[in-house]
């Protein structure tokens, strides 16, 4: 199975430009599964609720989901991509899963980071796993990484690959994902963005270094901090089914849940 990520500098509020960038970036590569960054269509640093409202969209009928359906159909692949979602009067930092022209699911970020709490409601849907034929995938978004429960829950529900759209600002995630993958024996695709946003006197720098982590914790690829990049590699997702540690230890069967309460 071929899995890939995109790392680029998202232009705030310029959806068409961001659509062009991702179309161009994946055009010469083929992958079964692509992960794009968090809020890949809008950018991150919102400055008012009106802005959030104007830029967020319905799933599955908004322009971004329509664009992703078409792109996944043309490229015969599954895409996991972050976007701001509008559901009646509620706004979520979400990610949609589209496979060959159809929406198969979406996730609403459960652990909101910093000022995201001003703009978005915390995710109200459970962690879910989708079977895309070549593997079972689960989705978490950026800051979810710091809660081991996120990856654990997805892994316990059968995810072989954690799709992890991100707009990282702290420097710890890439190293932490090594542990997340070792302790759950899963693959992870952390698709981060690069660049900085300066809006209304606020500034945020995004740390790049997008990463594909193998199910034994090996760093299959870590991108540079400041360069736009497309990366694709071949993996065997079946490796993630094997939770064996020794003849006498299995990561999941050895859990002593009663002792954790």
State the catalytic residues. Answer: 38, 109, 142
Residue 191 contacts by C-beta under 8 Å, 6 or more apart in sequence?
5, 6, 7, 35, 36, 37, 163, 164, 165, 166, 210
- The residue among 78 and 192 lying less far from ligand ACM, judged by its C-beta, is 192
Q: What are φ and ψ of residue 79, in 5° steps?
A: -125, 135
CB of 230 to ligand ACM, least distance (A): 21
Query: Using the rule CB under 6 A, which residue among 137, 168, 189, 212 binds ligand ACM?
Result: 168
Q: Is 142 in the site for ligand ACM (CB under 6 A)?
A: yes
Q: Is 12 in the site for ligand ACM (CB under 6 A)?
A: no
CB of 241 to ligand ACM, least distance (A): 29
Question: Cis link prior to 60 (omega < 30° from 0)?
Answer: yes
- The residue among 113 and 127 lying less far from ligand ACM, judged by its C-beta, is 113
CA angle (58, 59, 62) in 5-degree steps = 55
What stretch of H or E contains 68?
A: helix 63-74
Q: Is 113 in the site for ligand ACM (CB under 6 A)?
A: yes
CA-derived radius of gyration, the chain: 17
Distance (Å, rounded) from C-alpha 111 to C-alpha 104? 22
CB contact at 8 A, 243 and 207: no
Q: Is 178 in the site for ligand ACM (CB under 6 A)?
A: no
Q: Which range touches ligand ACM (CB under 6 A), out of 8-16, 19-27, 164-172, 181-189?
A: 164-172
- The residue among 41 and 167 lying less far from ligand ACM, judged by its C-beta, is 167
Look at strands 187-191 and 161-165 and give their pairing: parallel
Query: Using the rule CB under 6 A, which residue among 9, 21, 94, 167 binds ligand ACM?
Result: 167
Distance (Å, rounded) from C-alpha 128 to C-alpha 261? 23
- The residue among 129 and 141 lying less far from ligand ACM, judged by its C-beta, is 141
**Sites for ligand ACM among residues 25-54 (CB under 6 A):** 38
Binding site for ligand ACM (CB under 6 A): 38, 113, 142-143, 167-169
């Amino acid at each position: 199975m071929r899995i890939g990520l995109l790392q680029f500098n998202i232009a705030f509020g310029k959806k068409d430009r961001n659509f062009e960038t991702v179309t161009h970036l994946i055009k010469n590569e083929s992958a079964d599964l692509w992960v794009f960054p968090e809020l890949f269509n809008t950018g991150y640093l919102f400055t008012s609720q009106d802005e959030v409202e104007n830029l967020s969209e319905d799933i599955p009928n908004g322009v971004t989901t329509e664009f992703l359906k078409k792109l996944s159909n043309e490229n015969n692949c599954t895409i996991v991509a972050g976007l701001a979602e509008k559901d009646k009067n509620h706004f979520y930092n979400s990610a949609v899963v589209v496979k060959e022209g159809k929406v198969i699911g979406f996730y609403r970020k459960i652990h909101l980071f910093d000022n995201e709490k001003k703009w978005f409601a915390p995710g109200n849907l459970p962690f879910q796993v989708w079977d895309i034929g070549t593997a079972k995938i689960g989705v978490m978004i950026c800051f979810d990484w710091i809660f081991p429960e996120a990856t654990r829950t997805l892994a316990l529900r059968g995810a072989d690959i954690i799709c992890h759209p991100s707009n990282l600002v702290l420097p710890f995630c890439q190293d932490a994902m090594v542990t997340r993958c070792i302790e759950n024996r899963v693959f992870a695709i952390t698709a981060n963005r690069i660049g900085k946003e300066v809006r209304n006197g606020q500034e945020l720098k995004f740390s790049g270094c997008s990463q594909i982590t193998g199910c034994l914790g090996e760093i299959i690829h870590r991108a540079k901090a400041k360069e736009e990049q497309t990366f694709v590699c071949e993996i065997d997702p079946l490796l993630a089914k094997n939770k064996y540690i020794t003849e006498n230890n299995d990561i999941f069967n050895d859990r002593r849940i009663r002792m954790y309460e």
